[in-house]
Chains A and B, each alone.
Chain A
Amino acid sequence: NAGVTQTPKFRILKIGQSMTLQCTQDMNHNYMYWYRQDPGMGLKLIYYSVGAGITDKGEVPNGYNVSRSTTEDFPLRLELAAPSQTSVYFCASSLRQAAGELFFGEGSRLTVL
């Protein structure tokens, strides 16, 4: 199993551009999450999904959108990129509804200039 795979690993965007961070997992996990990590701020939940066709907002959803058309894929869309979205983004998945281990991808470092 590859686990959770994120692409791209690095990206530089100009203000106002849009892009999609891809995330796919091959563990047949129903639960998937997007977190952003800023220095000294921990991991903040952006969006999450409990299964195909179901998504919900986390702690910091503004400026982002997600979709979950399949169990495997959970892309994160940034519309009109802003410098405040400069961060490291982690996708994660879990098997159990709760009290279960999160498996993280390697992260995507995004810089908005």
Chain B
Amino acid sequence: GENVEQHPSTLSVQEGDSAVIKCTYSDSASNYFPWYKQELGKRPQLIIDIRSNVGEKKDQRIAVTLNKTAKHFSLHITETQPEDSAVYFCAASKGGSGNTGKLIFGQGTTLQVKP
């Protein structure tokens, strides 16, 4: 089955710096790659996603890149702010007919943005 590895497990940056979190996946048939943010004591919430027919997607200060050949994808946060402090999870799933769309998550990255 699918396996998703996420690095680093913790990341500390100064406010205003950029943060990059990387994930690799094992199943070359996976074609949907979302990122979830979980604030302390809260539920995970989707922040951005990318499909396999796209190499990069941006939404304001966050961007995701996908390299299907290497089977890895990354989350980039620019101009970090203290409210970006949270746990970030990457995930992968297979879409299309006959697939359930079940998401397999990475282990999570705890991002701390220091003021």
Number of interface residues of A (CB under 8 A): 27
Separation in Å of the B88 CB from the closest CB of chain A? Answer: 11
Q: Which residues of chain A are near B99, meaning CB under 8 Å?
A: 97-98
B18 interfacial contact with A, CB 8 Å: no
Chain B, 32-86, CB within 8 A of any chain A CB = 32, 34, 36, 42-46, 49, 51
B-contact bits for A18-62, CB 8 A (1 contact / 0 none): 000000000000010101000011111100101000001011000
Chain B contact residues: helix, strand, loop or mixed: loop
Q: Which residue of A lies closest to B36 (CB)?
A: A102
Q: Are B45 and A42 closer than 8 Å at their CB atoms?
A: no
B6 in the interface (beta carbon within 8 A): yes
Contact across chains for B100 and A45 when beta carbons are under 8 A apart: no
> Is the beta-carbon distance between A99 and B32 smaller than 8 angstroms?
yes
Chain B residues whose C-beta falls within 8 Å of the C-beta of A56 in the assembled complex: 100
B96 to chain A, nearest CB (A): 7
Q: Is A90 an interface residue (CB 8 A)?
A: yes
Inter-chain contact A42/B6, CB cutoff 8 Å: yes
Q: Is A94 an interface residue (CB 8 A)?
A: yes
User: Among residues 67 to 115 in chain B, which have CB atoms less than 8 Å away from a CB atom of chain A?
Assistant: 89, 93-96, 99-108
- B9 contacts across to A, CB distance below 8 A: 40
Residue of B nearest to A94 (CB): B101
Name B101's contact: one of A35, A59, A90, A96 (CB within 8 Å): A96
Q: Pick the 5 closest A-B CB pairs, nearest first.
A: A98-B95, A98-B101, A99-B32, A104-B43, A43-B105
Q: Knowing that A31-B101, A40-B9, A105-B43 touch, tell me 11 more A-B residue pairs with CB under 8 angstroms.
A: A33-B103, A42-B107, A45-B105, A50-B100, A97-B101, A98-B31, A98-B93, A98-B96, A99-B93, A99-B95, A104-B43
